[in-house]
Amino acid sequence: METYKADVVIIGGGGAGLRAAIAVAELDPSLRIALVSKVYPMRSHTVAAEGGSAGVKLPTDKLDYHFNDTVAGGDWLCEQDVVEYFVAQCPVELTQMEHWGCPWSRTPDGHVNVRAFGGMKIERTWFAADKTGFHMLHTLFQTSIKYPSIKRFDEHFCVDLVVADGRVQGAVTIEIASGELTLIEARAAVIATGGAGRVFRENTNGGVVTGDGMALAYRHGVPLRDMEFVQYHPTCMPGTGLLFTEACRGEGGFLVNKDGYRYLQDYGLGPAEPTPRNKAMELGPRDRLSQAFWYEQQKGRTIDGPHGSVVHLDLRHLGEAKLRERLPQIYELAEQFLGVDPALAPIPVRPAVHYTMGGIMVDGLCASPLPGLYAAGECSSVGIHGANRLGSNSLSELCVFGKRAGEEAANFAKSVPPGHSAELLKQAQAVEQRVLGMVKKTGGNERIATLRKEMAQTMEDGCGIYRLADTMQKTCDKLDELKQRFKNVHIEDKSSVWNTEWLLAIELEYQLDVAQAMAYSALNRRESRGAHQRLDGFEARDDVNFLKHSQAHYVADGAPRIDYGPVKITKSQPGTRAYGAAGEKAEQERNASHV
Partner 1 sequence: MSDIQKVIEIEVLRYNPETDKAPSSQVFEVPFTDDMSVLQGVQYIKDYLDGSLSFRWSCRMAICGSCGMMINGVPHLSCETFLRDYYPARVRVEALNHFPIERDLVINMEGFINKLESIQPYIIPKEPRTLAQGEYLQTPEQLNLYEQFSSCINCMLCYAACPQFGLNPDFIGPAATALLHRYNVDSRDGGKEERMDLVRSEEGVFHCTAVGYCSEVCPKHVDPANAVNQNKTNAAVDYFLRFVSPKGGAK
Q: Which residues bind partner 1 (CB under 8 A)?
A: 39-40, 42-45, 47-48, 92, 95-96, 98-101, 103-112, 131, 134-135, 138, 142-143, 145-146, 154, 177, 206-208, 239-240, 242-243, 306, 329, 332-333, 336-337, 447-449, 491-493, 495-501
Question: Kindly report the CA angle at 525 between 269 and 461, in degrees rounded to 5?
Answer: 75
Q: How far is the CB of 500 from partner 1 (least distance, A)?
A: 5
Closest CB to partner 1 among residues 347, 370: 347
User: In terms of DSSP H, where are the helices of 10-79?
Assistant: 15-27, 63-73
According to DSSP, the residues that pair with 125 across neighbouring strands are 54, 115
C-alpha span between 235 and 204 (Å, rounded):
10
In the complex, minimum distance from the CB of residue 98 to partner 1, in angstroms, rounded to a whole number: 5
**Shortest distance in whole angstroms from residue 381 CB to partner 1:** 24
H-state helical runs in 284-392: 286-298, 320-326, 328-333
Asked if 387 contacts 229 with a C-beta cutoff of 8 angstroms, the reply is yes
With respect to partner 1, which residue has the nearer C-beta, 493 or 589? 493
Annotated active-site residue in 249, 467, 541, 549: 249
Note the helical H segments in 242-319: 247-250, 286-298
Q: Alpha-carbon distance 265 to 255, whole Å?
A: 10
- Closer residue to partner 1 (CB): 214 or 243: 243
Closest CB 573 distance from partner 1, rounded Å: 34
For the CB of residue 201, give the shortest distance to partner 1 in the complex, in Å: 14
Residue whose CB is less far from partner 1, 266 or 325: 325
Query: Could you give the angle at the alpha carbon of 399 between the alpha carbons of 398 and 405, nearest 5°?
Result: 80
Q: Which residues contact 221 (CB under 8 A, 6 or more apart)?
A: 369, 370, 553, 554
Q: Choose between 387 and 491: whose C-beta lies nearer to partner 1.
A: 491
45 a catalytic residue: no
CA 547 from chain center: how many Å? Answer: 22
443: left (phi over 0), alpha (psi -120 to 50) or beta: left
Q: How far is CA 202 from CA 255, 320, 423, 571, in A?
A: 20, 29, 44, 38
Smallest gap from residue 100 Cβ to partner 1 (A): 6
Catalytic residue among 19, 135, 233, 452: 233
State the Cα–Cα distance between residues 593 and 485, nearest whole angstrom: 58
Asked if 191 and 360 touch (Cβ cutoff 8 Å), the reply is yes
Is 452 a known active-site residue? no
The phi, psi pair for 467, rounded to 5°, reads -130, 145
Nearer to partner 1, 90 or 188 (CB): 90
Closer Cβ to partner 1, 232 or 502, answer by number: 502
**Shortest Cβ distance from residue 445 to partner 1 (Å)?**
13
Active-site residues: which are they?
233, 249
